[in-house]
Structures are given as C-alpha cells and as structure tokens.
Amino acid sequence: MTETANILIIDDDETILDSCSQVLKREGHIVKGAKDGEKGLELFKKEFFHIVLLDLKLPGLDGMEVLSVIKEESPETPVIIITGFASIDSAVESIKRGAFDYLAKPFNPEELRIITKKALESRKIFFENIYLRTELEKKIEFNMVVGKSKVMEKVLDIVTRVSPTESTVLITGESGTGKELIAREIHNHSLRKYAPFVVVDCGALVETLFESELFGHVKGSFTGAFETKHGRFEVANGGTIFLDEISNISLNIQANLLRVIQEREITRVGSTKPIKVDVRILAATNENLADLVRKGKFREDLFYRLSVVPIHLPLLKERKEDIPLLVDHFLHKYNKRSNKKINKVSQNIKKALMKYDWPGNIRELENTIERAVVLSKSDEIELEDLVYHGIRSGSSLLDPTDGRYKTLDEIEKEYIKTVLQAQFGNKSKTAKILGIDRKTLLAKVKKYNIQ
C-alpha cells in the first residue's frame, strides 16, 4: 500500500503542474502547486509537505535559491529537481546542494511514480537513522521482566491483551519496578514492532527545552537554535513513544501534549506549520496522577486520555517469590557480559536476598547481582560479595551486630546509603522513596558523610 503524502510542485509550466498533479493524486497523494519560487516558499512555510518537486528555471526567485531555503528549514524533506536536458549540469549541481534526485523532461508517469516512492523511503530512512543513533548511544540491554507470582501473571495477561491494540497505556509503579521494560514489551508485541520505540525521560529534561525535545524547533527560533531539530514525536512517527515519569511535565506542556493526542499533529517551536504524526503513546509514572489531578497539578482531560488501559507494577517485596527467577536471569545476563561462569548461589544467599525489602526494587536487585558477579573471585556468589551492599544472611538492619544494637543514626545512615546506591546516586528519586524532600536528604548525606 502506497503511503499517502503531501506533495508540493513548484513549476511555471502549467502542463507539468497539471500532469504531475493528476498522476500523484491517482496514487492517493495530496498535491498543491505554485508557479514561481516566492509562492512556492510561501506555501512550504505555511503547510507541511513530505516531498517537493522543483523546477530550476523559475521566474523571479530561481530554483537553486528555493532549494537552499527548503533544505535549511527542513533538511529531511526530499527535493526532486525537474529539469530540461540542457540543464542536466545544473541538476547535478543541485544534488550536491542537497536535492534528492532529478527528473529530466520529458518524463513518463511511471518514472514520476518510482522517484516519488524512492523519495518517501529516503525520508523514512532519515528518521530511522536518527532513532538508531539514539539507541546506539544508550548501549543498554533490555530484557523482559520475568516472574511467576500471581500479581505478575495478572500484569503480563494485560500486557498480552493490550499489545496488539492502539490503546494508550499508563504504567504506574515505584522507581525500579520495570516500567520501561513493560513498555518495550508492549511495543515488541504490537503491530508497530518494526518501527521506532522512542523513550522520553520527562524527569531528566530541562523545562525550558522540553517543548523543543518533544516537538522539535526551527533554526533561529530561540537563542542557541543553530539548526532545525526534529522532535521525539517526529522520530517516533509510525512507532511508539514512551513518556517516562509523565507527572514531571508542566501544565503548559500538558496542554500541548493533549493537543497532539487529539489532533495527531505537532508544531515545531518557532513554526506555525502543523506536521501530522502517527504515534502510539505509552506513559509511566511513580506518582498517583489522580491525586495530582485533585491538587490541580495535572490536567484531568489528559489523565483520562493517557490512562485508557492502566497497568500497575508491584513492589519487588510484594512478589518475593520472583526473586530466585530474577537472580538467575541477571546472573546469566552479567555472566555473559563479564565473560564469567558463576553458576552457584548458596541457600544462605538466597535467603538473604528473599528477606531484604529492596527499596530500589528490580533495578536494585539487578545492580546487586551485577556487582556480585564483578566482585566474585570464584564460580559461586559468596556472602562477602553482598555484604558491601548492606545485605546480610538471615539478618536485617535492625538486628544486633556483635551483640550490640545499632543506634537510630547508624540505621538511618545505612538505609539512606542503601537506597542511594539502588538509585545510582539519584538524590531526587532517593528522597521520594524515603518520603522526605531533597533538601532534607542533602542535609542527612552531609551529616553522615555518605559518599
């Protein structure tokens, strides 16, 4: 099936305009035409086009100048040059300046159809390359969360049923419970599995640049905008966008996001030209969005749009029967990565892991197993490989050590250190888990000299 595209033809030859329009419209495309460069650029700046067919010889503003403006504003837009045989040298020069290809007059309808199809494919590849570069920069291995507990069976049942649909999903659960892994699993079993899966960490983006990251911006739209930027929604077109920690976005961005969901189009910062996008939205949060709605911190209409299908992930301490499976899973993963062959975990170690409450959830457990694999000097994980992390065989933070009970300060210091390690030093997330504000946490870190 041919992709429907918006196509702009800029040519002063009315015969070319009419014949090309008819051929492309029969292919299901939407076509608009202009007879000179000025009117063509006026249309291009006002509306969104997938492809431009451009004659080099135009009255007034010539084709080369028009090409330069188009490629500067929208480098991903393929421009097909229409030229007479006598101007082949000019057409070759235009390709050096960024044109996609050229059609020499006279050309037949099939040549036009073929080159248009190739141009659309090149535009798709342009965005796929942006996505692949982003994925390579992450260099993260993703594995599905394993588990046999009843609570996880229910979660995976919902995942199985919702994945093939186009429904928006809201995944809730504390930090480290595997929200992104579940989102990836939904994408990997969806009809969009061969298209991009783009992650947006709403908690890590600076508020002033958030809109630019999501929707892109045009060159010169603000200080520092030295070139046109393609937003995450454009990169995710045809695939899935995962908005992690959605509760962190401002009311202003919430309004813009709601508009994207409703209209299925985005507008780059500094532009008035809407761009159609076909994206499935998955969102996640470790906060209670319904509470934020009641407090006026989250839009009610957006909340209902996002939570068409809600999935709640349990704490690891609520599914402790899954710990042995997860341990084996991570042991295999980090054996492979570290080129080791650790194949034993003693019963004492398993008991210690089962008794520990894992405030950092699966992420903390994975971090612990990775460290144990790295530190292990034999083919078996020993207790000493875990003690460093604050886990003790058959004991807890509250049990006496060497016949002496710990002071409250000692317990607090050890617990704060454990949670900080589980959150990879992220103080904002640690403060949320501990139920204190960030300022209080910083004061305690300083008090106890926690490194």
- Whether residue 34 is contained in a domain is answered as yes
- Whether residue 137 is contained in a domain is answered as no
Which pLDDT belongs to residue 394?
46
What mean pLDDT, rounded, does the chain reach? Answer: 84
Strand pairing category for 274-276 and 265-267: antiparallel
Whether the predicted pLDDT of 138 surpasses 70: no
Give the domain range for residue 30: 6-124
- For 104, phi then psi, to 5°, come to -90, 130
Which pLDDT belongs to residue 383?
65
pLDDT range class, residue 1, cuts 50, 70, 90: very low
- For tokens 């990775």, name the residue: 370
Same-domain check for residues 227 and 247: yes
pLDDT tens digits for range 216-269: 887 777 777 777 778 899 889 889 999 999 999 989 889 999 999 999 998 888
Residues whose CB falls within 8 Å of the CB of residue 376, separated by 6 or more in sequence, listed in order: 340, 342, 382, 385
pLDDT range class, residue 142, cuts 50, 70, 90: very low
Same-domain check for residues 335 and 303: no
Nearest-angstrom CA–CA distance, 337 and 369: 12
Same-domain check for residues 323 and 240: no
Give the range among 139-143, 301-305, 329-333, 380-384 with minimum mean pLDDT.
139-143
- Whether residue 136 is contained in a domain is answered as no
Last residue of a domain, one of 264, 294, 314: 314
Give the range among 175-189, 410-424, 435-449 with minimum mean pLDDT.
410-424
- Whether residue 133 is contained in a domain is answered as no
Last residue of a domain, one of 314, 342, 370: 314
Could you tell me the CATH number of the domain that includes residue 386?
1.10.8.60
Q: Count of domains in the chain?
A: 3
Count of Cβ atoms closer than 10 Å to residue 377 Cβ: 8
Q: Which residues pair with 276 in a beta bridge?
A: 265
- Whether residue 258 is contained in a domain is answered as yes
Which pLDDT belongs to residue 384?
66
The answer to whether 124 and 278 have CB atoms below 8 angstroms apart is no
Which pLDDT belongs to residue 414?
81
Which pLDDT belongs to residue 299?
95
- Whether residue 132 is contained in a domain is answered as no
Same-domain check for residues 328 and 418: yes
Which pLDDT belongs to residue 243?
95
| Mean pLDDT calculated for residue range 157-168 | 93
Could you tell me the CATH number of the domain that includes residue 52?
3.40.50.2300
pLDDT tens digits for range 58-101: 888 888 899 988 888 888 889 999 887 656 778 778 888 889 88
Same-domain check for residues 381 and 263: no
| Mean pLDDT calculated for residue range 33-59 | 89
The answer to whether 189 and 156 have CB atoms below 8 angstroms apart is no
Same-domain check for residues 156 and 203: yes
Q: Return the C-alpha torsion angle 335, 339, 341, 342, nearest 10.
A: -40
Which pLDDT belongs to residue 137?
47
Same-domain check for residues 398 and 430: yes
pLDDT tens digits for range 178-208: 899 899 999 989 999 888 899 998 887 777 7
Reported pTM: 0.65
Same-domain check for residues 303 and 163: yes
- Whether residue 131 is contained in a domain is answered as no
Count of Cβ atoms closer than 10 Å to residue 306 Cβ: 26
Residues whose CB falls within 8 Å of the CB of residue 54, separated by 6 or more in sequence, listed in order: 10, 11, 40, 63, 66, 67, 70, 79, 80, 81, 82, 99
Task: Classify residue 118 by burial, with Cβ atoms within 10 Å: 0-12, 13-18, 19+.
Answer: middle
Same-domain check for residues 309 and 365: no
Could you tell me the CATH number of the domain that includes residue 260?
3.40.50.300
pLDDT range class, residue 413, cuts 50, 70, 90: confident
Whether the predicted pLDDT of 356 surpasses 60: yes
Whether the predicted pLDDT of 157 surpasses 80: yes
Whether the predicted pLDDT of 308 surpasses 60: yes
Which pLDDT belongs to residue 418?
79
| Mean pLDDT calculated for residue range 276-288 | 93
* Token pair belonging to 273: 């030209």
Give the range among 50-64, 130-144, 331-345 with minimum mean pLDDT.
130-144
Which pLDDT belongs to residue 2?
53
Whether the predicted pLDDT of 139 surpasses 50: no
Nearest-angstrom CA–CA distance, 400 and 242: 45
Last residue of a domain, one of 258, 284, 314: 314
| Mean pLDDT calculated for residue range 21-25 | 92
Same-domain check for residues 430 and 337: yes
Same-domain check for residues 54 and 78: yes
Nearest-angstrom CA–CA distance, 344 and 20: 70
- Whether residue 306 is contained in a domain is answered as yes
Instruction: Report DSSP state, residue 229.
Output: B
- CA distances 7 to 17, 118, 215, Å, are 12, 14, 22
Which pLDDT belongs to residue 179?
92
Which pLDDT belongs to residue 8?
93
Which pLDDT belongs to residue 300?
95
Nearest-angstrom CA–CA distance, 375 and 385: 6
Same-domain check for residues 331 and 307: no
Task: Classify residue 302 by burial, with Cβ atoms within 10 Å: 0-12, 13-18, 19+.
Answer: buried
